[in-house]
Structures are given as C-alpha cells and as structure tokens.
Amino acid sequence: MVEVADFGLAKERGSDLTSTGSSMKGTIRDPALGSFRDFKPVNDIYSIGFILNYILTGKENLVADGSRLGSIIQKCSATNSADRYQTVRDIIEDMKKAECLVG
C-alpha cells in the first residue's frame, strides 16, 4: 500500500492559499523553521526523515543504527537545515545506492 502525505507547507510562488502569518501545527515540525515566512523546501525534508524512519523501522522515534538507511534518515532530520539533504532528488539517489548495498 502506498500513501501520499501533504504537509501543507509548500506552495507555488505568488499563491495566497497559505498565509505567512498562519500558526504552525502538526507533530513533526522543523525546529529550524520560525514561521511560514521563512519556509523553504529543506523544511519539508526534516519531516521526510521521520516518515522514512517510520516506514522503514515501524518506530516513531528516530533510530540511529549506523546503517546506510539510518544515515539517510539522520541526514534528512538533522537539526541544522544546512546539514540536511537540500533536494528530494539527493535522497532518492542515496536510497537507490542503499538498495544496492542491502540486496
């Protein structure tokens, strides 16, 4: 089964669908994001780390097991946004490499 998640933060430039003054809600919020005004795609990557962790381990808390997949999850959810993957394409490339190591 595949489920699609929408964090509700990303939007097209110039769109007025989300007010930059809206309060942030949810359980997986990037601690580096002060307000929607400061939002960048890297802020969604933080959440992707937690989702990958849950999908791959079944655990809600981040697991630092030293594996290649564990290091991908840790890089996604790094506290400092500069230490994270900057694009989803980078995550996909590392996931492909990890698959080769696993199988």
* DSSP secondary structure of 9-32: ----TT--SS-TTPPP-SSS--TT
Residue 77: pLDDT band by 50, 70, 90 thresholds?
very high
Is the distance from CB of 37 to CB of 20 less than 8 angstroms? yes
Residue 74: pLDDT band by 50, 70, 90 thresholds?
very high
- In 4-97 the beta strands, taken as DSSP E runs, fall at none
Tell me the pLDDT of the chain averaged across its residues. 78
Domain ranges of the chain: 44-102
Spell 66-76 as b/e; 16+ CB within 10 A means b.
Answer: eeebbebbbbb
The highest-confidence range among 3-17, 26-40, 54-68, 82-96, by mean pLDDT, is 82-96
pLDDT, tens digit, for every residue of 13-44?
Answer: 666 655 555 565 566 778 888 777 777 888 88
Average pLDDT value for residue range 52-77: 87
- Taken in order 68, 32, 25, 4, is the CA torsion positive or negative? negative
pLDDT of residue 30: 82
Q: Is-above-0.75 flag for pTM?
A: no
